[in-house]
């Protein structure tokens, strides 16, 4: 499916399946395995803990000795543009408590995009480390099997080789792709994002091609404060859904989140 086709169906899909997934307590009581958790509240770290608990605990995703890489979205200090630092720090703590041998936080973004966001300080205080890919050995050039648009990419080696990759987008409006969420956030692994911008159809398909290289063990979506206009950098209008979404299925998560912006394509 083209990413554009996905977006056309996203709002309908969110409405169709949201009723079941937005009531995790009922699903939990029935004994069914929860695949997506949505937690609303005012404490992002606590919401992350509860979402992980509903999904079966961090041990479902991280085992002793695993090398974990977290992929948040750092876009500066504007409102609704950067993954909440308390969410990132909480996942660092949970992974280390589960016995991870290392937890690093990385992205293709430069140091300037991280400064002032609070992520650096909170990650390091929680026992994680920041990893800025700044040399050739930090990157791997990979051919994409069965790609329809983007045949080859240069991506962060650690993200590709991690035992556990945890995708941590902030959901928001995006002027080029309508929204940015789990699939779009994987462009944070890519060395040359501007080369993806060769028209809308190419861009959407290139994102899908890139995403086919990765299978995050878990995606945690920050929908606590989100940008509704002027994305991805802002400034722009924001809303406050106060929600954290968690699960493995990136397409389903993006579909559910599209309902927050009432996306109609």
**Residue-level pLDDT, tens digit, the chain, 265 residues:** 454 554 444 444 443 333 334 444 445 555 667 899 999 999 999 999 999 999 999 999 999 999 999 999 999 999 999 999 999 999 999 999 999 999 999 999 988 899 999 999 999 999 999 999 999 999 999 999 999 999 999 999 999 999 999 999 999 999 888 999 999 999 999 998 888 888 788 999 999 999 999 999 999 999 999 999 998 999 999 999 999 999 999 999 999 999 999 864 4
pTM of the full structure: 0.88
The pLDDT score that the predictor gives to residue 54 is 97
- CB of 102 within 8 A of CB of 65? no
The pLDDT score that the predictor gives to residue 154 is 97
What lies within 8 Å, CB to CB, of 68 at 6+ separation is 62, 95, 100, 102, 103, 104, 162, 163, 164, 165, 166
Q: What domains are defined for the chain?
A: 3-261 (3.40.50.11440)
The pLDDT score that the predictor gives to residue 17 is 37
The pLDDT score that the predictor gives to residue 158 is 97
DSSP-assigned letters across all residues of 31-96: TPPPSEEEEESS-HHHHHHHHHHHTT-GGGT--TT-EEEEEE----SSTTSS--HHHHHHHHHHHH
The pLDDT score that the predictor gives to residue 28 is 55
The pLDDT score that the predictor gives to residue 11 is 40
Q: For Cα atoms 176, 178, 180, give the angle at the middle one, nearest 5 degrees.
A: 90
Task: Tell me the C-alpha distance between 87 and 172, whole Å.
Answer: 16
Sequence-distant contacts of 32-37: CB under 8 A, at least 24 apart: 35/247, 35/248, 35/249, 35/252, 36/245, 36/246, 36/247, 36/249, 36/252, 36/253, 36/256, 37/245, 37/246, 37/247
The pLDDT score that the predictor gives to residue 176 is 87
Strands 218-223 and 164-168: parallel
CA dihedral (253, 42, 111, 130) positive or negative: negative
- CB of 68 within 8 A of CB of 95? yes
The proportion of the chain whose per-residue pLDDT surpasses 70, expressed as a percent, equals 87
The pLDDT score that the predictor gives to residue 218 is 98
């Amino acid at each position: 499916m083209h990413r554009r086709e996905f977006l056309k169906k996203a709002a309908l899909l969110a409405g169709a399946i949201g009723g079941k997934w937005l009531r995790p307590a009922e699903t939990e009581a029935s004994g069914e395995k929860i695949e997506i958790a949505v937690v609303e509240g005012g404490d992002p770290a606590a919401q992350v803990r509860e979402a992980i608990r509903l999904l079966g605990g961090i041990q479902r995703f991280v085992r002793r000795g695993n090398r974990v890489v977290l992929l948040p979205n750092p876009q500066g200090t504007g409102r609704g543009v950067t993954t909440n630092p308390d969410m990132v720090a909480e996942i660092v703590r949970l992974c280390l408590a589960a016995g991870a041998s290392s937890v690093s936080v990385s992205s293709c973004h430069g140091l300037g995009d991280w400064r002032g966001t609070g992520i650096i300080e909170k990650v390091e205080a929680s026992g994680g480390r920041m990893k800025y890919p700044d040399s050739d050995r930090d990157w791997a050039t990979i051919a994409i099997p069965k790609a329809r648009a983007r045949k080859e990419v240069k991506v962060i080696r650690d993200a590709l080789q991690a035992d556990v990759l945890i995708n941590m987008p902030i959901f928001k409006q995006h002027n080029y792709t309508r929204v940015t969420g789990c699939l779009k956030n994987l462009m944070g692994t890519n060395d040359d994002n501007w080369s993806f911008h060769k028209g809308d159809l190419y861009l959407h398909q290139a994102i899908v091609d890139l995403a086919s290289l990765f299978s995050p063990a878990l995606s945690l979506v920050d929908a606590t404060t989100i940008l509704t206009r002027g994305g991805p950098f802002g400034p722009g209008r924001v809303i406050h859904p106060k929600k954290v979404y968690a699960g493995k299925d990136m397409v389903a998560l993006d579909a559910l989140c599209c309902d927050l912006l009432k996306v109609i394509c």
